[in-house]
Amino acid sequence: MTPEQAKLIKLSFAPIIGRKHEAGKIFYQRLFETAPEVKPMFKADMNAQSEKLMSTLGAIVGCMQDRPSLNAMLENLGRKHVGYGVKDEHYGKLRAALLWTLEQILGDAFTDEARRAWTELYDMVASVMRQTAHKTASAERPLRTGTL
Ligand code: HEM
């Protein structure tokens, strides 16, 4: 992520946070339309969930250039997601719903450069979360005895 991309992400995130309730609603509506199989995983109140997602996105944007802090936060989040039943293949669906939401809110201000910057950020976030999930899942797998 270049400093220009970080600046672009911060600039484009401001209107999203300004309309965070609407953004959260649009996002989950789109996610459940395009990936109905994930809906049953969400047990909590969706307003509260939307609030948590927006504040976490804010935290990610706030520390995206401080990799040690970002990684610590994402490793924690990645471990929690194993417990929710989230699998690798779900991350792509969430990325599409997120980019779609940004486009709905930002309109023409969601330029190709902004899309590329957000895509890179999301892929970096998802990659740390998924790697942690893999480590967590293999650590939880019972040890087999008698085999090398
Ligand atoms: C960049 C990726 C993601 C971010 C930033 C993110 C963020 C969050 C946050 C902040 C929470 C609340 C955690 C808490 O209560 O402490 C959460 C919960 C959850 N997330 Fe994610 N998430 C991501 C990816 C995904 C994906 C790909 C799925 C798959 C469908 C998913 C499904 C869930 C579910 C099922 C919960 C629990 C909801 C409940 O308690 O009812 N998340 N997520």
Question: Could you read off the pLDDT of 95-134 as tens digits, one per residue?
Answer: 999 999 999 999 999 999 999 999 999 999 999 999 999 9
| Contact by Cβ (8 Å): 112, 54 | no
| Contact by Cβ (8 Å): 127, 85 | no
Q: State the pLDDT at residue 138.
A: 80
| Contact by Cβ (8 Å): 110, 103 | yes
Question: Quick check: is 94 in a domain?
Answer: yes
Residue 57 belongs to what domain range?
A: 3-136
DSSP symbol at 1: -
Question: Quick check: is 37 in a domain?
Answer: yes
Q: What is the mean pLDDT of residues 22-47?
A: 97
Q: State the pLDDT at residue 1.
A: 87
Question: Quick check: is 39 in a domain?
Answer: yes
CATH number of the domain enclosing 38: 1.10.490.10
Question: Quick check: is 147 in a domain?
Answer: no
Assign 30 a pLDDT band (cuts: 50, 70, 90): very high
Question: Quick check: is 81 in a domain?
Answer: yes
Atom of ligand 1 nearest to the CA of 90: 27
Q: How many helices (H) and strands (E) does the chain have?
A: 6, 0
Say how many C-beta atoms besides its own lie within 10 A of residue 120's C-beta: 14
Q: Which of 41, 82, 47, 76 is nearest to 59 (CA)?
A: 76
User: Does residue 136 carry a pLDDT above 90?
Assistant: no
Atom of ligand 1 nearest to the CA of 126: 1
Return the best residue to mutate from 55, 94, 128 for the ligand 1 pocket (most ligand atoms within 8 A of CB). Answer: 94
Question: Quick check: is 148 in a domain?
Answer: no
Question: Quick check: is 128 in a domain?
Answer: yes
Q: State the pLDDT at residue 145.
A: 65
Q: What is the CA(128)–ligand 1 centre distance, in A?
A: 14
Q: What is the CA(107)–ligand 1 centre distance, in A?
A: 26
The count of domains in the chain is 1
* Unique residue bearing structure tokens 């929710």: 84
DSSP symbol at 42: -
